[in-house]
Structures are given as C-alpha cells and as structure tokens.
Structure 1
Amino acid sequence: MNQGAQGSAAGTGIPEQDAGAARVPEQQRATDPVREHGATGPSARGEHPCPEASVPHPRPVVQRSSVRGQILDALRTALVTGELAPGAVYSGPALAERFGVSATPVREAMQQLAQEGAVEVVPNRGFRVVRRDARELAELAEVRSLLEVPVLLRLAATVAPERWAELRPLAEATVRAASAGCRAGYAEADRAFHRAVLSLSGNDQLVRIADDLHRRAQWPLTTGRHIRTELMADAAQHAALLDALICRDTDRVRTLLDEHFGARRQQ
C-alpha cells in the first residue's frame, strides 16, 4: 500500500460489477461497547453511529497496521445492509483498487468472511456472497438457543440485580438503533447486548462462539419490508428480558427467550 492511498481506503465503495451491486458506506467504525469497556466516547455509552447515514464527514485515515481490520469491518457492514448483494461475485483486485490498497488485505478479509460462511470462493473470479435461506437462519437460531437459554436461566437465579441494571445502556442502545431503522447500527448494538449478558457467565469461549453464531445469523439481518417494525420488536424484547433478569423472574426469562429465539427461527 503506498502512502497516497492510505487516506482513501476506508472511504471508497464496492465496485459495481453486477447490476444492483452497491458500495461500502464511507464511514466505517469498528466500535464495540463490550471490548472497549471503560473507554470514552459514543461506543462506551452504548451508542452506535449508523454507517448508512448520508451526513457529510471527513474520510478517516486508514493506518497501515489496521487496514485489514478496517476493510473487514467495512465488508461486514456491507453484508448486513445488503450492499454486498447475495449471489453477486466480487473480485479481490477490483475491491482492492476501489479501497486504494493492495489486494493482499482484501483477500485476507474475504477469506475470513469465507470461514464465517458469509462468502464462498469462486475460482479465478473472486468471492460470491452466500444466499441465506430460511432453513439456515432457523438452524442458527436453534443452536444459539441451545447455547444461551440454559446459561441465562442459571444466571437469572445467581447474578445480583445491580449487575443486570448496569447493562441497561446497552439495551437502550438497541432501541435507539431500531428506532432509527439503522440495520448496521442495530446489528452491532444487538450483538453487544448479548455479549454483555453472556459475559456474566465468566466463560469467554461461550461468549466467543455465541457471538460468531450471532454474527452469521445477521446476514442478512432481515428481508422484510417493514425493517424498522421488526427491529423495534426485537429491541423491546431486550428491555423486557433485562427487567425479568433484574426481578429474578426465571419463568418470565424463559418465556421471553423462547419468544426471542422463536421469532428468529420464523424469519
């Protein structure tokens, strides 16, 4: 990557190789309220700026050491929003040219997405965005349910109410993102809330595996026309779940979790 290209890497778009192929949003911020706990700024308060917003802003400078990570975050956002179209094939070198970087970090990022099941390698062409069907999304929701429900029921009876209350800002962040209809912002806030809840188990491996499944289930986040309504309903379940956990109402927790994962199995 040359010095002149560093300023444009995170602010360029996805090449329009196919009809309907879209661009990566200009502003990509890989914030994580849980990983960055204790930091200052919007992400530490559970706020998630929407990458889909069209407000003009300066292009961020991509640092050499983080270029792969920034491109990976940009591509993940494009997957959630549907800007990387299911079934479309994208060339690594063409993406690299648009990002203003060498092909190596782009290929590495796409290989990571292939491992996560978001894209598949097309020999001599590039990478095809995987089409997710209802059965696959239902299977992911079922596996998440098998992992998370028993843990949350145990935590509901053992974790002090004040610990749950500390997670209120993360539940509120999902409501704000849903109200804005921001798919990428909601996807980030949704995972942050679930990570924080599961982190109270003290099992880092559980948190990592559950988060990976959750991320995979978000591509696409939803295919319905009334996306804001769907997001608001999902976010409302987060707030209700937190209320039940604070009250140590295990029966209510079980009911809400069944509804939460059941709705995802039916999407």
Structure 2
Amino acid sequence: MKEGTGSAGREEAVAAAPAAQGRHRVPAQPAASDSDADRRRDTGRDRLAGPEDDGSARGEHTHGEPALARPRHAVQRSSVRGQVLAALRTALVSGDLRPGEVYSAPVLAERFGVSATPVREAMQQLTQEGAVEVVPNRGFRVVERGAREIAELAEVRALIEVPVMLRLARTVPAERWAGLRPLAEATVRAASSGCRATYADADRAFHSAVLTLAGNEQLVGIAEELHRRAQWPLVGGAPGGGSRAVLIADAHEHTALLDALIAGDLDVVRALVGEHFNGAE
C-alpha cells in the first residue's frame, strides 16, 4: 500500500492493512464531535446562571438582566476522550488490541467516528498507565507482558488488599457486607457470559466496593489501577485466564468470601483471600 504524506499518512499505512482485513477490531463507538469549537465551549461556563450566580463574582456586567431559571434537567456533556479511553481499555482486556501490535490514531479514530485528537489523548493516558508505548511516526504499540509481571502485580495487590480486607472483616457489621451481595452476584453473571472484558469491569467493581469500606480514597484508587493492569492479557493471550470456567471459579470466590465476611468467620476469610490473590485475575 502506498504511504500517505506526513506522520498521519505513515500512521495510516501501518494499521490500515489489519483494519481492512477485519483483524484486531476495536468495538465501534457512536460518532461524536471533537471540533475546536466544542473544546472551547467545554472550557467555558459549566452551568446556566442561577439566582446566586449573576456573573458579578467574575467581574461580568449583567446590566440588570433577569436571572435565568435553572433548567429542569441538568445539561449533560459527554466526554469523547472518556468514551474512547473506555473503549480502548475494553479492547485491551478482550484482546482486540493485541500485545506487540502497532495501532495508529487516525485509523482507530475512523472506526470510532471521531477525530484523531481524542484517540491520541486516550492513547497518551494508556501510555502513562503502561498499557501502550509510543512508536514515533507510526502510532502506539501495545506493551507485551509476561507471566512474571502478572505474578508481581498479584503480589503487590495482595500486600495492599489482604491486610485491609482482614481488618474490615473484624470491624464492618454483617449488614454492610450483605449490601455488597448484588455486586458479588454480578461478577458471577459476568463470568457466565464468557466475556473477559465484561467480567473485568464487574470484578473491579466488587473489589473497589470492598475497599471503599475502609474510607481511604487513595487506597481505592491505587488498588483499582493495579487491578486494571493485572487484567491486561499476556503475550499470546492469558493461558487459562480467559476461559469461561476460570472466570466462573474466580467469581464464585467472591460470593464465598462475602458469605464468610457476613458470618464473621475470620479463618475462612483469611484462607479465601489468600487463595483469591494467588490466582488473581
């Protein structure tokens, strides 16, 4: 295929062939506008002026204009970058973005129906998270990871989460644990679907809800980031890790752990937590 001119053309040349063949397809996203005008509007006033916000606090002259009534429904803005980032994260977990492959922002943007800008911004975020790396004049390569990195992440997660869970097991009342039952059951349903990306979301939601009971937002944020990184597939896929049977077994550990927490059985909690992180997804 003839290369286009400029860096964007070279990026398209790298990824256009896989795209034309339908390989490594990223889930399609709804078209959205990302024009300069949209971005300028996003940096402007975040809400309509109400009685207590006449603009004078910012030095604006209102000239006696009547205050506008608050809208019945809050104005909603969708983040194109956020939608693209979520889609790319899903593609990483599901394996649609394959380790070692290079993907260009223009080609991915065409699939999403957006400009290349939010795709590049999302990819830069994934670069900071260690999921991809920049390939000058070509695009972004999905980082190749081995079993050792997965094991190290599991160890770090255990060092952070296990002591917290054991402390919470001694202090949180049974009714608070019972409130997490829907999230535990959601992981079982997600695992039964066989979709690794769906299970990854449900799995993180359950673990985050447990850690939230500790009342430490920094802890929750760090643990969730480690958890997300642990869910990216290995080179060539995660042997056994993506099978439906393994996901279901992992999900049932959540419900068993919750039963033990509700019963206040610390010995069982300790054993289940240790087993869960030894085979952490």
User: 1:42 — aligned with what?
Assistant: none
Structure 2 residue aligned with 1:38 = none
Structure 1 consecutive aligned stretches of length 4 or more whose deviation exceeds 4 Å: none
Question: Is the Cα contact below 8 Å between 1:17 and 1:90 reproduced in 2?
Answer: no
Give the CA deviation at 1:21.
Answer: 3.5
1:90 to 2:90 alignment: no
Deviations 1:152-201 (A, max 9, x none): 10000000000000000000000001111111110000000000000000
TM-score (norm. length: structure 1)? 0.77
Aligned-partner Cα distance in 2 for 1:16–1:82: 18
Aligned equivalent of 2:172: 159
Alignment partners' CA distance in 1, 2:81 and 2:29? 15
Q: Distance in 2 between the 1:212 and 1:165 partners?
A: 26
In the TM superposition, residue 132 of structure 1 has moved relative to its aligned partner by: 1.5
Query: How big is the shift at 1:251?
Result: 1.3
Q: Distance in 1 between matches of 2:114 and 2:22?
A: 24
Rounded to whole Å, the distance in 1 between the matches of 2:151 and 2:101 is: 23
Note the C-alpha offset of 1:99.
2.1
1:17-28 residue pairs with structure 2 within 5 A? Answer: 17=18, 21-26=23-28
Whole-Å Cα distance in 2 between the matches of residues 110 and 191 of structure 1?
A: 21
1:112-261 matches, within 5 Å, as 112-220=125-233, 223-224=238-239, 227-261=243-277
Is 1:73 equivalent to 2:86 in the alignment? yes
- Aligned residue type for 1:256: L
CA shift in 2, pair 1:160/1:122, >3 Å: same
Residue 104 in 1 paired to residue 104 in 2? no
Deviation at 1:25, TM superposition (A): 2.1
Is the Cα–Cα contact under 8 Å of residues 15 and 21 in structure 1 kept in the other structure? no
What is the alpha-carbon distance in structure 1 between the residues aligned to residue 111 and residue 174 of structure 2? Answer: 50
**Structure 1 residues 16 and 178, CA gap change in structure 2 (3 angstroms):** farther
The runs of 5 or more residues in structure 1 that have no matched partner are 1-13, 29-62
Of residues 223-232 and 177-186 in structure 1, the stretch that sits farther from structure 2 once superposed is 223-232
Q: Which amino acid aligns with 1:224?
A: P
Q: Determine which structure has more spread, i.e. the larger CA radius of gyration.
A: 2
Indicate the percent of aligned positions where both proteins have the same amino acid. 72
- Please give the alpha-carbon distance, in whole angstroms, between the structure 2 residues aligned to 1:245 and 1:16: 52
Cα deviation for residue 247 of structure 1 reads 1.1
Aligned pair count reads: 218
Q: CA deviation at 1:97?
A: 2.6
> What SS does the aligned partner of 1:131 have?
coil
**Cα distance change, pair 249–174 in 1 and its aligned pair in 2 (3 A):** same
User: Aligned Cα RMSD in Å?
Assistant: 2.1
Query: How big is each residue's C-alpha offset from its partner over 1:205-233, in whole Å with a ceiling of 9 and x where there is no partner?
Result: 00000000000000018623571011011
Contact residue 94 and residue 197 of structure 2 kept, 8 A: yes
Label 1:83 to 1:65 Cα distance change in 2 as closer, same or farther (>3 A).
same
Which is worse superposed, 193-202 or 113-122?
113-122
Deviation at 1:16, TM superposition (A): 5.2
Report deviation, 1:74. Answer: 0.6
